[in-house]
Amino acid sequence: MFTLKCIAVCTPMLTNASAALAQAPQLGQPIAPADIAAWDISITPDGMGLPPGRGTAIEGEAIYVAKCQACHGEKGTKPGDALAGALVGGMGTLAPDETPIKTVGSFWPYATTLFDYVLRAMPFQESKSLTADELYAVSAYILNLNGIIGPNDVIDAHSLPKVRMPNRDGFIPFPRNPK
């Protein structure tokens, strides 16, 4: 009885619904690949997504001094009055009986994350303003200040994923879906 009633009531409703759909305002438009590209900037730990370009620590120093030092301190070591955290130092402090100092050098497991982070978020007040070459160079400078690469090492899409960070093995995998 209920089923028959439903057929009787629902069929006209469905017909009305498709009529309403046909009359719906045609909102939106297909997005162009170039528009997606501007948002699709993620770089994976293995370096997928890194753009063409290159830089060395020597080249990166001037960029750091001009665009980063005011907040992160000279050579990334954050003096007391710096606005943001240290990017350098703290090596060996992630150990028992030590006060952990977590910096790019002491804590971050992948060098590619440094490029990704600076690309999307820094300089703080002017994010996404650096060119790929500037990003490679300033990343190289921070890696060099941490003693991880040499001052003339060329950092690009090929070499950055190969940089081995000191705390690479300091993370315990967390199974999100334990069986």
Q: Rule CB under 6 A: which residues touch ligand HEC?
A: 67-68, 70-72, 83-85, 87, 103-104, 114, 117-118, 122-125, 138
- The smaller minimum CB distance to ligand HEC, of residues 17 and 62, is found at 62
Write out the H or E segment, with its range, that includes residue 145.
helix 132-145
Q: Which of 138, 33, 45 is nearest to 129 (CA)?
A: 138
Tokens found for residue 16: 């009305």
Could you tell me if 127 and 120 are in contact, meaning their C-beta atoms sit under 8 angstroms apart?
yes
Report in angstroms how near the CB of residue 67 gets to ligand HEC at its nearest: 4
- The smaller minimum CB distance to ligand HEC, of residues 70 and 94, is found at 70
- The smaller minimum CB distance to ligand HEC, of residues 71 and 91, is found at 71
Report in angstroms how near the CB of residue 11 gets to ligand HEC at its nearest: 56
Tokens found for residue 169: 């093995």
Tell me the C-alpha distance between 2 and 8, whole Å: 10
Report in angstroms how near the CB of residue 151 gets to ligand HEC at its nearest: 17
